[in-house]
Amino acid sequence: MIAVLTVEARKLNRSLAALLAIAAPSLIAIFVFFNLLRGGKPQPWEMWTQSSTGIWAFFMLPMSVTALTALVAHMEHGPRAWDHLRALPVARWKLYAAKAVCVIAVVAAMSLLNLALTLGAIYGAAAVKPEIMPTGPLDGAAPVVLMGKVLLAAILLIAIQLWTALRFSSFVPALAVGIGGTFFSVVATAAKQGVFFPWQMPVNMLSTEAWRVNAALALGGGVGTVVLLLAIAHLSRREVL
């Protein structure tokens, strides 16, 4: 399994995954930077770190997962490499499991980078305009824990997107699912049933209602893990269309 993961990581290193991993969090940091400069008085640290996490969980995470899973799948679909890979003396499930692990690892790295760039944007804006420097203590652990919950709640979303992207050789179905899911998540933001919608589960980690947080975490992380395992089992037994 280690060898398969190593190969998969090298493939990602030669793709545009690194550019995507940097670009998405950078856009949020740029927004935070200029939004801070618009302010006239300081706000608590928690407000800005949660705002950045909210943007990530609500919109940028789903769209990044859509693009990343399509990219990971196209590395094999494009050159029609599946026949070669599936003929190798390696258990088929390991090929798909390696892709799942790499996708989750990249999303985790993007999550941490989002926090790091947000802090950089805040300090940068405060250097330009000192009077807006956030107030109160900066709890470094709380934003990381919150982002970890967001990632865990996004497992179901990741599983659905990766399953679709790997199942079909065309990137259209995966993009349609990702764009459609994000669209309905945005237009139905206030819906109480949103906690049961995979694309809204990550942003529910910022809810003030404990039941929403717990439900989204259980469904996104627990059910998501089961769906991911089912996807790996299903893909390893079927041919790609």
Count the Cβ atoms, other than its own, within 10 Å of residue 174. Answer: 26
Tens-digit pLDDT string for the chain (241 aa): 677 767 667 776 677 788 889 999 999 999 999 999 987 788 888 899 999 999 999 999 999 999 999 988 887 776 666 666 666 777 788 888 989 999 999 999 999 999 999 999 999 999 999 888 888 888 878 999 999 999 999 999 999 999 999 988 888 899 999 999 988 888 877 777 778 899 999 999 998 889 999 999 999 999 999 999 999 999 888 665 5
| Structure tokens belonging to residue 221 | 């992380």
What one-letter code names the amino acid at 56?
A: W
**Any residues with CB less than 8 A from the CB of 173 and at least 6 apart, and which?**
164, 165, 167
Q: Does residue 241 sit within a domain?
A: no
Q: Does residue 97 sit within a domain?
A: yes
What one-letter code names the amino acid at 192?
A: K
Q: From 182, 207, 181, select the one nearest 192 (Cα to Cα).
A: 207
Predicted model pTM:
0.91
Q: Does residue 228 sit within a domain?
A: yes
Q: Does residue 89 sit within a domain?
A: yes
Count the Cβ atoms, other than its own, within 10 Å of residue 189. Answer: 11
Domain boundaries, position 88: 2-235
Q: Does residue 196 sit within a domain?
A: yes
How many structural domains are present in the chain?
Answer: 1
